[in-house]
Structure 1
Amino acid sequence: MQIAGVEPIPEDVRRGYVAAGLWGGVGLRDGVEAVAARTPDRVAVADGTTTWTYRELAAAVDRAVGCLRGHGCGPGTAVLVIAPLIAPAVAVYHAVLRCGGVAVMLDRRSGRADVVNAVEAAGVELIVTTAELATSLQVADLDVPTVSFDHVMECATPSEGWTERDPSLPAAIVFTSGTTSRPKAVVHSLDTLRAGARNMADIVEMTDADVAFLSTPLASITGLLQTHLTTERGAGLLLEDRFDAARSLARLRAEGATVLGGAPVIIEELFRQAQAEDLHELPLRTMALGGAMIPREILEVALDRYGIRPVRVYGSSEVPVSTGTLPSDEGEGRYADDGACAEGTEVRILGDQPGELLLRGPMRMLGYLDEGDNAEAFTDGGWYRTGDLGRFEDGRLTVTGRLKEIVSRKGLKISLTEIDDVARRLPGAEEVAAFGVPDAETGERLALAVVARDVAAVDFDSVTAWLLDAGLAKWKLPEQVVVWEQPLPRTESGKVQRRMLAADGAGSRTFLAPRLR
């Protein structure tokens, strides 16, 4: 798998990562297999239906290696894993790495257009998913061999051993929606993934006594990092595929989760539920907050009532867990900014502060799979342009805003340009533009402004049904459709002024999703 057009990190800096132990020196066997040998009966992963100890996880990974090899998975093979948050998906991910393949990750909520894009972009040679998703996504039409998680887990083919992979080569691909019209394929190596996972483990001070609670998709960078950091620290991992505040809180308590991370709105929901139930203690000892801060009153509940230590982290799919709270930070210093640099991470601010934020470090992605996406992503010296604004003073980072045009719904990022590109083909639409609206439940919700020739023909159900048929994933559908009765506000250069869409009252008719009615 070739990645072209990337400005490399200078060789002397790369050598420094190796010398400091930030790259190399640790093999795959130092993860699942080593923990299985050391503490075989420690619970490794549980998804509410399946619970595996490390002995059982190691056996499942070994079976999966044998099965995937039998289906042609070898060094460099791109394997598309369309996965809900289930234990077999974790085993398959580990197995792809041990075969030397590249795990191309998609969430169960992906649309068919996402699947087609992944197959074509990565040159996928094998697909692993559930039987239900294979049917709903019409995977059979793609002419790519497909097997189910059940089939892989039922395989009795022995792995017959495997060799350690080159940790600097492509290992995993996640897709992120930024400012472009389609999801970008972010390529990571084992070295870069482990650097991000180690940074997170250090920030939350994870040990083998911990249990992490994961409600973010396995196909996200957060999902992959938690998969690595728990196995490499010998901790447990609870997978919560379908979040529900009451049910998820009950499970978190019953199974003793000690580390919580993910979208701030989900964390907020859990603590509001704990308040509603008048709970006086929780097993959690720390929670990692990225992006928007949770409301002050919820933070105080976590601190004062439950004694939970909050930490801040900053990163992205491209440069995961770049900065974060230090163990020595006390009081409001734990969450007043976005923390100090993780080991090996460097920060640069372009121009005056706050200015455009650039990052470089051992966790930086290898690059985007599409050469065209790399052209504007890097500067000389291998610095990654985050698209965010920030201040960096006294060794501490404060992110002050975003340059990227995205909406973050429960931590899942949706490209406004991607929505525009699909919606502009909407029958009868003269102009369309997606924009974000603050939402108490999800943080932000996606709205779509439509200037139509026949305004009476526009309503919520017809617009969202058409977008779904056009291949847009269900989780990317707008939850608010606004019929705009005048030309959309634009800059002199012709760019739509999205903030004015959210503030202006030109839309005389507004349609909302059922949950908002």
Structure 2
Amino acid sequence: MDATTRRVSAAAVEALPRAGADRVARHRADGSWDDRTLADGIEAAAARRPDAVALIDGDGRLSWAELAAAVGQGLASLRGHGVKPGDGVVLVSGNTRHGVIAYHALLRLGTTVAVLDRRCGPADVQVARDALPGRPKVVVAAGEAGRLGDALAGVETVPLELFGGEPGPAAPPPWDEPDRDRTSVILFSSGTTGRPKGVAHSLNTLTAGAANMARITSADESTVAFLISPLTSITGLMQVHLAADQHATLALEDRFEPAGTLRRMAAAGATLLGGAPVIAERLLRAAAGAGGAGTGSVTLRTLALGGAMLPRPLLELATDSFGIEIARVYGSSEAPNFSGSLATDDRERRLSDDGALMPGGEVRIGSAEHPTEGLLRGPGVFLGYLDPADDQSAFEDGWYRTGDQIEAHQGRLTVVGRLKELVNRNGLKVSLTEIDAALAALPGVVEYASFGMPDPDTGERLAVAVLADEGVTITLDDVIEYLLGQGLAKRKLPEQLVRWDGPLPRTASGKVVRSRLVMEAPAKAGDLAPRLRQA
């Protein structure tokens, strides 16, 4: 592909992706990639505000001076276990200080880190090891090592417990700033085949993505980012880098439980929460259920939401009752924080689209396979997949193919939906295009659209929004009877009907914005299938 070249390592293994000279020149010229170093993060914060809180987890707090010393001690521990610059290392961690310290130490040593959540399985570890050159070591907690069993047979492991932040040498060992254009971090993203794809990021792409998150959320050194998403996910890594680069505080939550998590957020003084909307939804419901005590327990200033939007009533609860600002974010493991809300956006603007392009980001509408597919390039877009075969379908003329239908207007994006729009109900994938086509002649309906609603039991459920003719009432039974008459299989029938009281939300070109249907449906009247009425 245009933006990435590949090198062959000394061990003659397949080389990892590296930013090509053309891409480096482009982003250096626009200022997206600059002379920032790792030492401008933790080490600079330790020198400037040594006693300020840098990291909070279940074991307590670390100041910037303590975190810098811990990372230095971690670096020494890695060297003591024979880890060298250029090595591949698998890091298995939950949301603990140990994972953060090990991650920062591995970056400073110049390794390539393949990150896995502590809940990974033996097959995940094997895939990560196979992705790295040479004989990669695995940094893993003793308890997890025992669980992973055969995947670690014959593998040299480094105990994660070594990175606990205990006092080490008075002076941290020296280290050289690593090459910022090479692959530094590998995440794994399952494709449509279920085969994990290795997503390769450099320090430059990760730093750019974290800078975008700071712009979208107005994060600075006063921010306390509360991380519930896995540390080793792109959401987690973005907040790890944001905290280091902005000299902000990072608070880690390793066991999510709404009521207890709310208490820990308040104790940490959390101001920023980013991640899956379902987490925010559960926290807001818990806070609302606590009444007046709940209001006092919410210290958040900003809620960064990507993917499906929260139901409208909860969004209004967040902004009106708790004073939380909603920041809309669009991105992925491959292109984190690509667009997002601006500080000047009012609430309706924040909820109406997927935000403005971030500096250096570009979007092109239309691929060789679909006229409305969004293609992206920019400083935070990944270097490529580890398997060159995956790049063949993922890139077009150097642009990353998102698989999303996107509309762009005056520098802002609206994600209309996925190209292959599906609802996944207990593993059964139902095509929304098929359902919409079957509904085309439903009597008494002015507008209609199918969409997926989150479901605690099945993952997703199929819902249908309808705007009926004046004086006409449409029921779920009416829709089911009609669809069966059209020959639709019973397993594809909707379980929810939502009665819209006005035009369905659409883009400027007239396409229904299904994400808005998900957001607004809970405030609308409708019918539920018996399974849901009994819940």
Q: TM-score scaled to structure 1, two decimals?
A: 0.77
1:356 to 1:5, Cα distance in 2 relative to 1, 3 A? farther
Which residue matches 2:113? 103
Q: Does 1:444 align with 2:444?
A: no
Distance 2:54 2:490 in 1: 49
Question: What's the secondary structure of 2:186's corresponding residue?
Answer: strand
- 1:444 deviation in Å? 2.9
Which residue matches 2:193? 180
Q: Which has the higher contact order (CA 8 A, sep 6+)?
A: 1
Task: Give the one of 38, 50, 74 matched to 2:48.
Answer: 38
Question: What's the secondary structure of 2:184's corresponding residue?
Answer: strand
Q: Does 1:283 align with 2:273?
A: no
Distance 1:261 1:119 in 2: 30
Distance 2:489 2:18 in 1: 36
1:137 to 1:100, Cα distance in 2 relative to 1, 3 A? same
1:12 to 1:132, Cα distance in 2 relative to 1, 3 A? closer
Q: Does 1:364 align with 2:381?
A: yes
Task: Give the one of 394, 409, 414 matched to 2:410.
Answer: 394
Residue identity matched to 1:198: A
1:121 to 1:8, Cα distance in 2 relative to 1, 3 A? closer
Which residue matches 2:139? 128
Q: Does 1:82 align with 2:82?
A: no
Unaligned runs of 5+ in 2: 1-5, 9-13, 430-450, 463-487, 496-530
Q: Does 1:311 align with 2:311?
A: no
Q: Does 1:250 align with 2:240?
A: no
1:174 to 1:12, Cα distance in 2 relative to 1, 3 A? closer
8 Å contact from structure 1 (residues 45, 52) kept in 2: yes
* Superposed CA offset, 1:379-436 (max 9, x none): 11x1001111111122211111123688899xxxx998xxxxxxxxxxxxxxxxxxx9
8 Å contact from structure 1 (residues 265, 443) kept in 2: no
- 1:211 deviation in Å? 0.1
Distance 1:291 1:226 in 2: 17
Distance 2:16 2:160 in 1: 35
Distance 1:222 1:136 in 2: 26
- 1:134 deviation in Å? 0.4
Q: Does 1:55 align with 2:65?
A: yes
Distance 1:233 1:285 in 2: 17
Distance 1:499 1:371 in 2: 39
Cα RMSD after superposing both structures:
3.1
1:243 to 1:356, Cα distance in 2 relative to 1, 3 A? same
8 Å contact from structure 2 (residues 7, 16) kept in 1: no
Distance 1:33 1:7 in 2: 28
Q: Pick the structure with greater CA Rg.
A: 2
Q: Does 1:21 align with 2:36?
A: no
Distance 2:422 2:80 in 1: 41
Residue identity matched to 1:327: A
8 Å contact from structure 1 (residues 7, 378) kept in 2: no
- 1:443 deviation in Å? 9.1
* Superposed CA offset, 1:296-328 (max 9, x none): 000001111111110101010011110001111
Question: What's the secondary structure of 2:414's corresponding residue?
Answer: strand
- 1:74 deviation in Å? 1.9
Distance 2:422 2:116 in 1: 19
Distance 1:118 1:415 in 2: 29
- 1:6 deviation in Å? 11
Question: What's the secondary structure of 1:206's corresponding residue?
Answer: coil
Residue identity matched to 1:18: R
Q: Does 1:503 align with 2:514?
A: no
Task: Give the one of 78, 81, 94 matched to 1:68.
Answer: 78
- 1:19 deviation in Å? 2.5
Question: What's the secondary structure of 2:130's corresponding residue?
Answer: helix
8 Å contact from structure 1 (residues 178, 404) kept in 2: no
Distance 1:18 1:309 in 2: 33
8 Å contact from structure 1 (residues 79, 125) kept in 2: yes
Q: TM-score scaled to structure 2, two decimals?
A: 0.75
8 Å contact from structure 2 (residues 461, 494) kept in 1: no
Distance 2:489 2:269 in 1: 43
- 1:7 deviation in Å? 11
Question: What's the secondary structure of 1:175's corresponding residue?
Answer: strand
1:227-306 to 2 correspondences below 5 Å: 227-278=240-291, 279-281=294-296, 282-306=298-322
Question: What's the secondary structure of 1:389's corresponding residue?
Answer: strand
8 Å contact from structure 1 (residues 85, 217) kept in 2: yes
1:417-428 to 2 correspondences below 5 Å: none
Unaligned runs of 5+ in 1: 417-435, 448-497, 506-511
